[in-house]
A and B are shown apart, each in its own frame.
Chain A
Amino acid sequence: MTMQSLRIDGRDLHYTPLNQQIRAAVADGVKEIVIDNVLGQRFIGDGLRGDDVTITVNGVPGGDLAMFMSGPTIIVNGNADHAPGNTMDKGKVIIHGSAGDAVAHSMRGGRVYVRDNIGYRGGIHMKQYREKRPILVVGGSARAFLGEYMAGGLLIVLGLNGATPVSERGVGSGIHGGEIIVRGKIADEYLGTGAKQLPITAEQKESIRLILEDFASAFGLDPATLLAADYSRIIAASARPFANKYTWE
């Protein structure tokens, strides 16, 4: 008999046996996994496949949550630590809380939604290929070097509940593809090298409507405020921002 759901008590459970239990369950056809009493376990869901699998993490997971993950959905009821969604390929991570530095580092597909705030270098080196596009949406604020080295993908920072989306340097530093969308506007001194800021057009805003609605529904927010707000887009000023730094011998 295939159990459709499984509950794991994560108390004092090392991440290796925890992940083994998760994999075994998924292989068995389990679609819903709930892990209770999570406290600092790293690498949860790393490299996991299973497009219809949902894992609920109750507690505070450790670093590299959903790294290389390709398919499942992970819901975190708590803050995430360092680099959730690291090099993630496909799937969804929904964090009911904040996250640490390097969120969605090198992400190549799928979605990461953070209800509250993220740390430094969020979305660093996100990349995309044609339609395979990663999306990171942050409800609160982000710190310096947001979207550094961005090569593709979509990064949205909403600054809800009175937070300023970004008030530190280096936004889009070295961006050469993809786009960062913030609610309101970023002060010029915070724009990184090679990044330029433009107001969003009605068409571009329409193109993110479904994402904003999805984000709102993940956290029980009213999508109307999100859709009504003004946004700015930060994109690459050129595809080769540093071409003029070099010369041949």
Chain B
Amino acid sequence: MDGSKIKEALASMDERGSGEGAGYVAYGIYPDYKEYYALHVFFDNIREDKAPLDNLLEKWGTIVHDEQIKTYEQPGLRKVHTPWRYFFRPDPHMMPKSTTPEEDIITYLVMKVNSERNGALIFSSGKNLGVFKAAGWPEDVANFYRIQDYKGYLWLAHNRYPTNTAGWWGGAHPFNLLNWSVVHNGEITSYGTNRRYIESYGYKCTMYTDTEVVAYLVDLLVRKHGLSEKMAVRALAPPFWEEIDRMPAKEQELNRAIRLTYGPALMNGPFAICVANENSLFGFTDRIKLRPLVSGENGDRLFISSEEAAIRRIDPDVGNITMPKAGEPVIGTVYS
């Protein structure tokens, strides 16, 4: 599917945003380069800031190809950065002690570049996927990148109304690390706890936005700790103790163990979150359902949105419109 319909769907919810940020991510858009990590970078000044990044990347692997991400001027969007894409192959020998050297190298590079802030920001770092975002309204951002020119099998889109920082390109959603992309509606009151927890595992929060922490938590719980997506959501939005106390013994033990282990990862505050990776899409809300979330299906398509009307803009015949239960995920799996 190309990006034209999701742009319309997102724009139909402009009422919920403030025009300070919007973004899209699409999976499957680089079939010719699908073996390589597609790094999307914002450069402040292409002349000064690109060479150092090229050097850094060349130390850790090979830049197979890089080019400017084509953009089209929009009156409502001030072009503050130059977006660029690299297709990069990390050299696993650079991290000989790691069991997942490629992912660890990419993560290391993303954290390093983004915390050093030398005029370069890596905002997308997965294989065969790309994030397109900026500070502007959904339509403007979509037209800026012409997302209708990209074809992907899985899309996320988000319209932002920033609460704690002014809108800036890096602060727009989706937030991405490796193949994980996250969009989020709400505010995480446990951010101070979650951030310090995730940072003790070597991740660095550099985007001044609470949502960033969700991408890293999912990477830690699912990729590093091997939890299933369902169990990861169970850790991030666990059942209440009063419910756990009523469960049968084995289930009780399991849920208690999850809460004890992942207490600092528990997310509090109102939220509706959608997470994507190359194989799946899952959405969930906070445990007392303070934000809206709706899912729908049509054949082999799954839709998750803040509003049914937005889904119907893409697929007027969508069926099985349901509201997931508070804290419980809707999970869709890609099958080939």
Contacts and interface: CB of A to CB of B under 8 A. Distances in A.
A60 B289 contact: no
A82 B309 contact: no
Nearest to A145: B288
B144 to A, nearest CB: 22
A42 B307 CA distance: 11
A11 to B, nearest CB: 11
Interface in A69-116: 79, 81-82, 98, 100-101
Contacts of B15: 42, 62
B289 A101 contact: yes
A63 B292 CA distance: 11
Given A101-B289, A101-B292, A40 B323 contact: no
B12 A144 contact: no
B288 A60 contact: no
Contacts of B246: 189
Contacts of A117: 323
A143 interface: yes
Contact of B292 (A39, A61, A100): A100
A174 interface: no
Interface residues of A, number: 23
A119 interface: yes
Interface in A146-178: 168-169
A119 B12 contact: no
Contacts of A40: 12-13, 307, 309-310, 312-313
A62 B289 contact: no
A120 interface: yes
Given A39-B309, A40-B307, A62-B307, A98 B321 contact: yes
Nearest to A80: B308
A100 B323 contact: yes
Contacts of B310: 40
Contacts of A101: 289, 292
B26 interface: no
B326 interface: yes
Given A100-B292, A120-B289, A39 B323 contact: no
A116 B145 CA distance: 41
**Chain A contact surface mostly:** loop
B303 to A, nearest CB: 13
Contacts of A81: 292, 307-309
Nearest to A81: B307
Nearest to A82: B292
Interface string B274-296: 00000000000000110010100
Contacts of B307: 40, 62-63, 81
Contacts of A120: 288-289, 326
Contacts of B288: 120, 144-145
B50 to A, nearest CB: 42
B289 A143 contact: yes
A144 B323 CA distance: 12
B248 to A, nearest CB: 15
A239 B47 CA distance: 71
A222 B51 CA distance: 75
A119 B323 contact: yes
B307 to A, nearest CB: 6
Contacts of B309: 39-40, 60-62, 81
Contact of A60 (B292, B308, B323): B308
A39 B289 contact: no
B13 A144 contact: no
Contacts of B312: 39-40, 60
A61 B12 CA distance: 12
B289 A144 contact: yes
Interface string B11-55: 011010000000000000000000000000000000000000000
Taking each of A40, A144, A145, which has the highest tally of chain B beta carbons within 10 Å of its own beta carbon? Answer: A40
Interface of B: 12-13, 15, 242, 246, 288-289, 292, 294, 307-310, 312-313, 321, 323, 325-326
30 contacts: A39-B12, A39-B309, A39-B312, A39-B313, A40-B12, A40-B312, A40-B313, A60-B308, A62-B15, A79-B321, A81-B292, A81-B308, A82-B292, A100-B292, A100-B294, A101-B289, A117-B323, A119-B289, A119-B323, A120-B326, A121-B289, A143-B323, A143-B325, A144-B289, A145-B288, A168-B325, A168-B326, A169-B242, A189-B242, A189-B246
Interface of A: 39-40, 42, 60-63, 79, 81-82, 98, 100-101, 117, 119-121, 143-145, 168-169, 189
